[in-house]
Amino acid sequence: MSGNVRLRALVIVVVALAVIWFIGDRYGMRAKDRSYRDAVLRIDTAEVIALGVVPGRVSRTPWRLERGRDAWRIVSPDDTFRVEREAVLELLAPLAHMKVKRQVGTMDLVKDRYELGDTTAERLLITLRDGSSQELLVGKSTFSPKGPWSHVNVPGEKEVFVIDGMLSMATEKSVPEWRPRTVVSGVPAEWARLHFVFPGNDYSLVRGPGGTWSVDALEGDSARINKYLGSMAVSEAHFVAVGERVEGLPETHRLEITRSTGAPPIVVRVFATPDGRNLLHSTCNPDNVLWFDPQRETPRLFRPMANWLKGSTPVGPPM
C-alpha cells in the first residue's frame, strides 16, 4: 500500500472517530449531564416558617425548627429550646441558593453511594407561610476546593444533584448540638460600660469620646480594650450543663454590659456548685446553663483592673 493510500485511510479513521465522539458528546450521557436544570428548588427563605428533619437512621431523633416572633425554637419528642439565628442560617442559606453544581446520576444507581437511601438520607420538610411545603432528601457531604457540597434529591424524581453549602452537615446535627453555647454576643460599638465584680476586683470600663476608654476614671489602654471586646462579642462555652440549675448557688463572678442603645444590659454570672465546679448563666443565652472552667475562662473574661490601665503589662491569654 502506498504512502498516500495509508495516509488517506488514517484520515478516514480519525474523521470517523471524531464523528462518533461528537455524536456521543452531543446526544449521550455527557450531554445529559450538562442539560440538567439550573436549580433543585426555588425557595424564598423569608417565607419559611418551619424546617423539619426526619432522620433515615432509626437511632436518631427527629426535630423541627419553628420560627417565632423574635426567635427560632427547636422542637423534638424530648425537648424544646431556643436556637440561635446564626445556626438556623446554616440551614437556610443553602436553601436560598440551590443552584445545581452537577448531576451525579440517578437514584437507582447512586443513592447508596451518596447516602440517599431510605435508611441513610435525612428527609427535610420545608414549610412556608402560605401553608405549602417542599420536601428534599439530603445525603452525604463532600468538599471541593471552593467549599462544601451536599448531595440531594427531590422525592419522586430520579436525578441526584450536588449543591453548594453545608446543608448535609446542618441536617445531620442532633438535637443537643443545636443547643446554644453563647456567653456574650452583640455589637461592641454599642457597649458604653462594662462593670466587673469578682474576687479582688470591682471596677468599670467606661467608653469615652472617639473610642477611648477609662478604667474607674483612670486612663485605659483603649487599643487593648477594643481588641478584647471584639473577642468577647463572639465568646462561647465548650459545654452546656444540661439539667443543671443556678438558683440558690453562690455567685462568684459578675459582668454587666450597659448598651448605649437603651436595650437591656447583658449580664453574665458565674456560680460555684457544692461539689467544687462552676456554672455560668448569660442573658444572651437565657434558656441554658453552661459549664465554666475557671482555669481557662477566668483569664479570658475576668481580667484584673490593672490589665486595662495605660502602660500596664497585659494579663491573660492573647486576644
> Tell me: the pLDDT tens digits for 74-99?
999 988 999 998 899 888 988 888 89
All three cell numbers of 197, joined, read 465584680
Question: Mean pLDDT of all residues in the chain?
Answer: 88
Q: How far apart are CA 229 and CA 255, in angstroms?
A: 13
Q: pLDDT tens across 126-174, in order?
A: 999 999 999 999 998 888 787 889 999 999 999 999 998 889 999 999 9
Sheet with 159-164: list strands edge to edge. Answer: 80-83, 72-75, 63-67, 48-54, 122-128, 133-144, 147-153, 159-164, 100-106
Using the structure block, give the residue that is written with the C-alpha cell 473610642: 211
Q: pLDDT tens across 245-280, in order?
A: 999 999 999 999 999 999 999 999 999 999 999 999
All three cell numbers of 215, joined, read 478604667
Phi, psi (deg, nearest 5) at residue 169: -65, -35
Q: Residue 30 has what pLDDT?
A: 43
> Comparing C-alpha atoms, which of 249, 251, 246, 255 is closest to residue 197?
255
SS3 195: strand
Within 13 A of 71's CA, how many CA atoms are on the CB side? Answer: 13
The pLDDT of 23-46, averaged and rounded, is: 64
Using the structure block, give the residue that is written with the C-alpha cell 483612670: 218
User: Hey, where are the domains in the chain?
Assistant: 45-178, 188-308
pTM listed for this prediction: 0.72
Residue 172's CB is within 10 A of a number of other CB atoms, namely: 18
The helix (H) or strand (E) run that includes residue 11 is helix 3-27
The pLDDT of 9-33, averaged and rounded, is: 53
